[in-house]
Amino acid sequence: MTDEFTFDDVAVVMGTYNEEQAIGAVLADIDRVTDGRAEVVCVDGSDDRTPEIARKMGATVIEQEPQGYGVAVREAVLTPDRPVVVTTDCDDTYPMEMLPEFLERINDGDDVVSGDRLARGADAMPTLNRYGNHAFALLASLLMGRRVHDTTTGMRAYRRELLHDITWTENTGLSAELLIRPLMRGYDVTEVGIPYRERAGETKLDPFHGGAAIAASIVTVCLEERLR
Ligand SMILES: Nc1nc2c(ncn2[C@@H]2O[C@H](COP(=O)(O)OP(=O)(O)OP(=O)(O)O)[C@@H](O)[C@H]2O)c(=O)[nH]1
Ligand SMILES: [Mg+2]
């Protein structure tokens, strides 16, 4: 029998950029759900009290000039030594109570478990973002030849090795890249429906510029993987 991973083997990581309204709730949820056993890593670019709150609550804080979502999250996913790495946003939108299910699926053999917000309607998501996210998933599905439903979700679990075996190039589009490259290389990737809550605090994403960057990333990454 292979040893099963427990929360002692899990790191929950996130980019944090002026999230003082949300970080307390996010870290408290992780602590409660994992019984304080998951390591927490925040790659922080804030000029508010976010890093101070994070440190007080036991997280490892890596300081970094704000350079966009993907620059922070790439550093965050590559930092932990633990074999299972879970990403989330630090805005209290994602259901930390589903961490046990994500871990269970990794233990069942999945390499990537991707939280699909659209499966359950994502009523809390702004309408424009919801349509955009459906469109991104459709675009990626067409280019990959395999149906996916949420390419831009912030909540996923990954086996650590694959994060180091693949070179990550995207910034705003990193979330899509983190799904597409493993999938097109034959890793076991599954989507699991998750509820999605309204954001605490202000968005860090401009929907138009951000949306264009994500679409460009999807096309670039799918073509690169096809030509590999
Ligand atoms: N360190 C760092 N974190 C960032 C940066 N940009 C975004 N983040 C964090 O990355 C996560 C995702 O950003 P969000 O603003 O939630 O983007 P989003 O989820 O696309 O948009 P919402 O629908 O508003 O939640 C949050 O935890 C942000 O604090 C950055 O430049 N540096
Ligand atoms: Mg968010």
Query: What number is the average pLDDT over the span 85-113?
Result: 98
Task: Output the average pLDDT for the chain.
Answer: 97
Structural domain contains residue 2: no
Supply 195's token pair.
């509820």
Give the ligand 1 atom nearest the CA of 89. 27
Structural domain contains residue 120: yes
What CATH number is given to the structural domain containing 105? 3.90.550.10
For the chain, how many structural domains are there in total?
Answer: 1
Which amino acid makes up residue 126? P
pLDDT of 3 reads 83
How much of the chain exceeds pLDDT 90, in percent?
98
Is the per-residue pLDDT at 1 higher than 60? Answer: no
Structural domain contains residue 147: yes
How many whole angstroms from 145 Cα to the centroid of ligand 1? 29
Which residue CA neighbors atom 10 of ligand 1 most closely?
15
How many whole angstroms from 18 Cα to the centroid of ligand 1? 9
Which residue CA neighbors atom 31 of ligand 1 most closely?
68
How many whole angstroms from 195 Cα to the centroid of ligand 1? 18
Give the ligand 1 atom nearest the CA of 210. 20
14 lines ligand 1 (CB under 6 A): yes
Q: What is the pLDDT of residues 117-151, one digit of tens each?
A: 999 999 999 999 999 999 999 999 999 999 999 99
Structural domain contains residue 1: no
Structural domain contains residue 198: yes
How much of the chain exceeds pLDDT 70, in percent?
99
Do 157 and 112 contact (CB within 8 A), yes or no?
yes
Is the per-residue pLDDT at 161 higher than 70? Answer: yes
* pTM, full prediction: 0.98
Cα separation, 19 vs 41, in Å, equals 14
Structural domain contains residue 181: yes
93 lines ligand 1 (CB under 6 A): yes
Structural domain contains residue 154: yes
Is the per-residue pLDDT at 2 higher than 80? Answer: no
SS3 assignment for the chain: CCCCCCHHHEEEEEEECCCCCCHHHHHHHHHHHCCCCCEEEEEECCCCCHHHHHHHCCCEEEECCCCCHHHHHHHHHHCCCCCEEEECCCCCCCCHHHHHHHHHHHHCCCCEEEEECHHHCCCCCCHHHHHHHHHHHHHHHHHHCCCCCCCCCCCEEEEHHHHHHCCCCCCCCHHHHHHHHHHHCCCCEEEEECCCCCCCCCCCCCHHHHHHHHHHHHHHHHHHHHCC
Domain that holds residue 158: 7-226
Is the per-residue pLDDT at 8 higher than 60? Answer: yes
Is the per-residue pLDDT at 98 higher than 90? Answer: yes
Q: What is the pLDDT of residues 177-192, one digit of tens each?
A: 999 999 999 999 999 9
Structural domain contains residue 115: yes
